[in-house]
């Protein structure tokens, strides 16, 4: 068993050490930290506690990257073997289920932990800059490491249960949403009960406080407050490590049962209903006049069956925003007053959803090895590609419709929309939301996994990095005459993504 484990882990580490993309990712992360450090140093004369400001941004940048990484990296360790129908061969080679689980997940966890280890010495500079202590830095990185273990364990469980990468990623997404939202609601409810002096607030706090502190997103805020003196091995560290190990044990227990099913193709019917039965209205039916549009609408975006799910998700985000507003003292005077953060998060969610659909539209053809057959059809390559993209994006429209509706019916939403149209800052930020799906579309033609999280990290990191640089250069808010050309440059990058993607698809279709 241990020979097989060492072979799998060793191969994973060797592939990572020889991969240019892995080293570029670490170099990019270090470059982002260096830029943030320079900006914090430049602003040290204008703002207090520059070390805390620097470390606060780095901590949440790491959390965002790890969360997006967990959706595709950790959730495909076993399911990718099921898709390629090689899991049975590994078992026939004498590698036990425990050895397979350790070997497939251990290398990925080590690669992710290296991203933390490589930046820890540099972030200690925040201590010398002032505003944060070494105990706070250590507590944050211990919390991040425990969160990675949780992601690895839960992702392995989802990958073991899921029949393919898609189902595993869906399960992982639901679990991460629960991990973020349930502790946030518990913390908000505890604040609400305490401020209003409700009967039993202390007893309820004994239950709600551990739930709230289970999330690293909540724990990060408590660590980076003045006067932090809690132990480094907090409840969040202990609970996340325990949950990650428990998920690993559960994956081991379910491995035999879940590995009996035959390998499934990466392209499946998913939630598409059959042409008979009570849900036949959600059936794809006969192909449309444009079969590429029809195929990607139903089998990439999910067709009619996914429209209620997307509507429920977007409206659910708005409901959570209202609860958060009311729990923190907003009251019921105006239920539609505070929608600014909701608009930002929904815009990001809609952008990432578009990125996921476009990346899947390209990646399905690459994994199915059907590009060469499609290019041979008596159809323009450009028309074929954009028909597929249009079909995938039809199912994406409900999220856009909800965002437009909330913007139109709320006073604050209309003010924010007018400000984004009128001010160059709104145009500049919008271009980066547009950049996310374009980068994902391009990267999916080069990467086997991780195109969506990588595109989101690159776009969001570029947005905040450019804003910090412009603010540091001008010592005030960036000048308007700089934002318009910068936004046009980002749109130019989006146009270049289309050109490079077309050349890449022709190259893949030719088999070179």
Give the pLDDT score at 197. 67
Interatomic CA distance for residues 308 and 269, integer angstroms? 18
Q: Are the beta carbons of 255 and 357 closer than 8 angstroms? A: no
Interatomic CA distance for residues 353 and 340, integer angstroms? 20
Give the pLDDT score at 329. 47
**Of 27-36, 96-105, 410-419, minimum mean pLDDT range:** 27-36
Give the pLDDT score at 279. 54
pLDDT surpassing 80 at residue 130: no
Give the rounded percent of residues in the chain with a pLDDT score beyond 90: 16
**Between residues 474 and 408, which one has the greater pLDDT?**
408
pTM for this model (two decimals): 0.76
Q: Torsion over CA of 140, 141, 147 and 149, rounded to 10 degrees?
A: -160
The residues near 246 (Cβ < 8 Å, ≥ 6 apart) are 153
pLDDT surpassing 80 at residue 190: no
Could you say which DSSP state residue 450 is in?
A: -
* Nearest alpha carbon to residue 371 among 186, 507, 196, 475: 507
The residues near 318 (Cβ < 8 Å, ≥ 6 apart) are 339, 342, 346, 402, 406
pLDDT classification of 304: cutoffs 50, 70, 90: confident
Q: What is the mean pLDDT of residues 262-277?
A: 51
**Between residues 438 and 473, which one has the greater pLDDT?**
438
Count CB atoms within 10 A of the CB of residue 17.
10
Give the pLDDT score at 490. 92
pLDDT classification of 270: cutoffs 50, 70, 90: very low
**Of 276-290, 391-405, 423-437, minimum mean pLDDT range:** 276-290
Mean pLDDT computed over every residue of the chain = 78
Residue-wise burial string across 80-111, b where 16 or more C-beta atoms lie within 10 A, e elsewhere: bbbbeeebeebbeeebbbbbbbbbbbbbbbeb
pLDDT surpassing 90 at residue 492: yes
- Provide Rg for the chain, Cα atoms: 24
**Between residues 224 and 270, which one has the greater pLDDT?**
224
Count CB atoms within 10 A of the CB of residue 138.
14
pLDDT surpassing 70 at residue 468: no
Averaging pLDDT over each range in 29-33, 283-287, 411-415, 454-458, which range is the top one? Answer: 454-458
Domain chopping of the chain, boundaries: 1-262, 293-512
**Between residues 79 and 245, which one has the greater pLDDT?**
245
pLDDT classification of 335: cutoffs 50, 70, 90: very low
| Crossing angle for the helix pair 480-510 and 424-443, to the nearest 10 degrees | 10
Q: Are the beta carbons of 359 and 441 closer than 8 angstroms? A: yes
pLDDT surpassing 80 at residue 51: no
Give the pLDDT score at 182. 87
Q: Which two tokens stand for residue 278?
A: 């009570």
């Amino acid at each position: 068993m241990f020979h097989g484990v060492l072979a799998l882990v060793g191969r994973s580490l060797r592939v990572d050490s020889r991969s240019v993309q892995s080293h570029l990712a670490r170099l990019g992360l270090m470059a982002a930290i260096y830029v943030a450090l320079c900006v914090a140093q430049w602003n040290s004369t204008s703002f207090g506690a520059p070390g805390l400001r620097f470390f606060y941004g780095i901590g949440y940048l790491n959390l965002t990257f790890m969360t997006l990484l967990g959706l595709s990296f950790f959730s495909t360790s076993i399911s990718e073997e099921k898709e390629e129908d090689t899991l049975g061969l590994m078992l026939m080679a004498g590698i036990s289920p425990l050895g397979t689980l350790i070997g497939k997940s251990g290398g990925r966890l080590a690669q992710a932990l290296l991203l933390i280890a490589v930046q820890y010495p540099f972030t200690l500079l925040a201590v010398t800059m002032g505003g944060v202590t070494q105990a706070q830095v250590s507590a944050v990185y211990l919390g991040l490491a425990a969160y990675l273990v949780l992601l690895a364990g839960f992702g392995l469980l989802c990958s073991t249960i899921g029949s393919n990468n898609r189902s595993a990623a869906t399960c992982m997404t639901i679990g991460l949403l629960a991990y973020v939202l349930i502790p946030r609601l518990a913390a908000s409810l505890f604040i609400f009960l305490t401020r209003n002096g409700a009967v039993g607030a202390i007893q309820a706090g004994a239950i709600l406080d551990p739930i709230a502190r289970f999330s690293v997103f909540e724990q990060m805020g408590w660590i980076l407050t003045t006067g932090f003196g809690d132990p480094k091995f907090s409840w969040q560290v202990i609970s996340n490590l325990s949950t990650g190990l428990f998920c690993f044990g559960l994956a081991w227990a379910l491995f035999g049962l879940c590995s009996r099913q035959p390998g499934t193709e990466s392209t499946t019917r998913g939630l598409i209903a059959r042409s008979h039965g009570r849900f036949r209205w959600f059936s794809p039916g006969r192909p449309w006049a444009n079969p590429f549009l029809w195929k990607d609408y139903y089998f990439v975006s999910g067709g009619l069956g996914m429209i209620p799910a997307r509507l429920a998700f977007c409206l659910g985000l708005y409901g959570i925003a209202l609860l958060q507003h009311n729990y923190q003292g907003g009251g019921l005077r105006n239920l539609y007053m505070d929608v600014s953060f909701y608009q930002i998060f929904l815009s990001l969610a809609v952008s990432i959803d578009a990125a996921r659909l476009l990346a899947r539209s390209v990646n399905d053809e690459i994994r199915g090895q059907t590009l060469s057959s499609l290019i041979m059809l008596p159809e323009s390559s450009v028309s074929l590609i954009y028909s597929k993209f249009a079909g995938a994006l039809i199912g994406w429209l409900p999220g856009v419709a909800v965002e437009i509706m909330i913007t139109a019916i709320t006073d604050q939403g209309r003010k924010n929309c007018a400000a984004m149209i009128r001010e160059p800052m709104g145009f500049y930020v919008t271009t980066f939301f547009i950049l996310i799906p374009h980068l994902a579309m391009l990267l999916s033609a080069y990467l086997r996994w991780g195109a969506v999280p990588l595109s989101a990290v690159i776009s969001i990191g570029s947005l905040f990095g450019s804003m910090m640089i412009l603010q540091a250069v001008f010592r005030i808010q960036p000048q308007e005459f700089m934002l318009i050309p910068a936004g046009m440059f980002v749109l130019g990058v989006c146009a270049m993504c289309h050109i490079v993607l077309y050349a890449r698809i022709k190259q893949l279709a030719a088999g070179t």
